[in-house]
Amino acid sequence: MDDYLFGDLRNPEYRAIRLGKSQQGVRHNWEIDPLIPAAGDRPTLTVRIELDQRVEKVTCRLLEPENQDVRLSLVKIEWDELNWSYRQVWQGQLPARRDGELVQYKVLATLAGDAAPIEADDNTTFAYLVGEATPPAWSQEAIIYQIMPDRFHPGHGRSWNPVSKADDIYGGTLRGIIENLDYIQDLGFNCLWLNPFFPDQTHHGYHATDYLTVNPRLGSLEEMRELVEGAHAREIRLLLDFVANHWGSEHPFFRAAQADRESEYYPWFFWKDWPQGYETYFKVRQLPKLNTEHPGVRNYLLESASFWLKEVGFDGLRLDYAHGVSLNFWTWFRKEIKSIKPQAWLIGEVTDSPAAQTKFAGRLDGCLDFLLAQVLRNTFAIDRMNLSQLDAFLELHEGYIPEFYSRPSFLDNHDMDRFLHLAAGDKRKLKLAAMCQFTLSGPPIVYYGTEAGVIQKRSVRDPRGVGLPESRQAMLWGADQDQDLHAFYQWLIHLRRDHPVLATGERQTLKVDDQARTYSYKRFDPVEQVTVALNLSAEPRSLDVEGHVFQLPPQSGDLRIDSITS
């Protein structure tokens, strides 16, 4: 079965075209060193230029905290094989700044003749925030349960609505979540990620028409406060699914802009041919794109996010389609949000390369680990990668992503086929993948129902289905749950909570055998060591690891926990 996480990026021809275009012209691409300047640092700024004209000078024009021009120097000339072109590399050092300062600037290249300077990256305004940018301490130990409110539980003693297709309204409510907080706590989760619960007409909540209230179909603001209070009483934190890139076309501000070109909200959107031609999210007309460079949009988004964080009590934000919004915006957003709630956890959804994801360092606390999800699915669900390839990926991936950068891991979510569906219903494959996921460093996320055996009938890309809603089946309860999976996840979650080394320790490969399909590694710190042994084969295996022999049934895993004494 095929898998699909990165859209067009899985196509090598598309990647080559994108890379080629990204090198042409005047490109800064947010390249500064160090990546997150500390107080007193003089960061080096790099600009790469591919033009068929002579470049006279390159200037960094500082806009904030004060206007100032910094001249860059030509340091080398490179050859770009892809574009069959010379590329100039210019660099310069920016002034040192104080901790907490927001620095904004533009990059301009002046050409020979009287032409106006060319602004880098298509007239982009760049920004960085001075000072430490580590995630909140609590996030390192987070074990996250993702809930789509319409699909979790109806509450109030009600049953699910009668439905005929996967994108109907099933009838889940906030009351249903409140009534099952003990279930979530008993499993061991200490963090909840709620998919959007704002007013809209969809089952998923991403067509929001108001960011400051709750969809009446799901419940009330009072019930949301009750949910937050109940979760916190159980030491469970909450992440709000927040969308800055777009909202629903029925939002009153968009409707006002469509009705009147003189409306104050007209510049909040990108118009091609007013009133019906406007930029959207992936050509979905019901999702107009927001102009997040406009002060009014920024203030509204900040007001909305701060309301849920400060007034209602959410502990962080999962930021939907974060790469649709400029890094300039996220730099500003981080500064403002952290001033309101310093321990808020800001996690981006960025379905792009690790190079693109790390550009968010110093702006967000981290990004969802889509590349790891793809590798785990390829290895454990559909046998597209062998264990040597998995091991090589882990070594490179862990070495590439900055240590301070959050990488929440997952096997599936609401925008892709469930892992169990991809694995053709084979629970042993799910258990192996989950054991690997939970013994790697990234805070693990479990999509609601995975622990209960929820599975879909069709792929999200099956033309006979309705797309993404196929992976959003109703939660199973009571006797309908897979008790074996439930017990396994409960054990796995508590194992991670009881052994912090799994979140913070180092990882070392011990054995990889592609022929036997066995794999072993350890996580360790000065206090403890956890040894992981996995058998992906259809035969039982005996695996001798550092003097301990694991007897592994077919498609199974095991652990050994040792205290370290000096």
- Say whether the peptide bond before residue 275 is cis (omega within 30 degrees of 0): yes
Three-state secondary-structure class, residue 459: coil
Task: Outline which parts of the chain fall under CATH 2.60.40.10.
Answer: 7-129
pLDDT of residue 564: 86
Q: With beta carbons less than 8 A apart as the criterion, state whether 524 and 499 touch.
A: no
- Which of 41, 121, 315, 349 is catalytic? The answer is 349
Q: DSSP per residue over 19-31, as a string?
A: HHHHHSEEE-TT-
Radius of gyration of the chain (CA): 25
Q: Which residues pair with 194 in a beta bridge?
A: 147, 240
Whether 349 sits among the annotated catalytic residues: the reply is: yes
Three-state secondary-structure class, residue 364: strand
- Which of 3, 121, 150, 320 is catalytic? The answer is 320
Task: Outline which parts of the chain fall under CATH 3.90.400.10.
Answer: 246-291
Whether 250 sits among the annotated catalytic residues: the reply is: no
**Residue type at position 523:** R
Task: Outline which parts of the chain fall under CATH 2.60.40.1180.
Answer: 506-563
Closest CA to 456 of 491, 418, 426: 418
pLDDT of residue 566: 60
Closest CA to 248 of 286, 213, 210: 286
Architecture of domain 7-129: Sandwich (2.60)
Helix extents (H) in 62-173: 120-123, 149-152
pLDDT of residue 4: 67
Superfamily of domain 246-291: Oligo-1,6-glucosidase; Domain 2 (3.90.400.10)
Task: Outline which parts of the chain fall under CATH 3.20.20.80.
Answer: 143-244+293-498
pLDDT in tens, 114-169: 789 999 999 999 999 999 899 999 999 999 999 999 999 999 999 999 999 999 99
Say which CATH topology domain 143-244+293-498 has. Answer: TIM Barrel (3.20.20)
The residues of the chain scoring below 70 in pLDDT are: 1-2, 4, 566
Architecture of domain 506-563: Sandwich (2.60)
Three-state secondary-structure class, residue 395: helix
> Who's near 152: CB < 8 A, 6+ residues apart?
172, 176, 177, 180, 448, 475
pLDDT of residue 10: 82
